[in-house]
């Protein structure tokens, strides 16, 4: 089972013009249960996006479209081989990704729920100490 994580950050990534702001989006392909990714890369996107922005059934095609758009963005890019390699890996895994994506999202929600419950318990304890 494979899944994709996506994290975007707005920042100053142009060393020639440090006043320029752009969005760097990291796309990582994982084998479920492994702590080392299959492949990871960063691209420039027009908007900040996260893996939760995509339907698990469509994420592979959406990411392939993003990567193809990144490849067309520049006349020349040293990142072209990485982009094409990531597209190939996602295409090869496209049947496996939806199930892995659902499991990843489910696990993330369960962890978030546990974190919120723990936070609520801490708040209840503090309220009890104040009463």
Which pLDDT band holds residue 76 (cuts at 50, 70, 90)?
Answer: low
pLDDT of residue 125: 94
- Computed over every residue of the chain, the mean pLDDT equals 90
Bridge partners, residue 45, by sequence: 23
Q: Residue 130 to residues 101, 119, 127: CA-CA distances in angstroms?
A: 43, 17, 5
pLDDT tens digits, one per residue of 5-33: 999 999 988 888 888 888 989 999 999 98
């Amino acid at each position: 089972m494979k899944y994709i994580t996506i994290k975007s950050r707005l920042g100053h990534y142009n060393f020639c013009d440090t006043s320029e702001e752009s969005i760097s989006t990291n796309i990582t392909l994982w084998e479920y249960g492994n702590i080392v990714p299959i492949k990871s890369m960063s691209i420039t996107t027009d908007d900040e996006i996260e893996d939760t922005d995509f339907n698990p059934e469509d994420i592979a095609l959406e990411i392939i479209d993003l990567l193809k758009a990144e490849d067309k963005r520049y006349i020349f890019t040293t990142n072209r081989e990485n982009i094409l390699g990531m597209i190939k890996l996602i295409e090869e895994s496209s049947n496996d990704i939806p199930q892995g994506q659902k499991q990843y999202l489910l696990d993330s929600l369960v962890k978030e729920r546990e974190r919120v419950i723990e936070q609520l318990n801490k708040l209840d304890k503090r309220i009890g100490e104040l009463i």
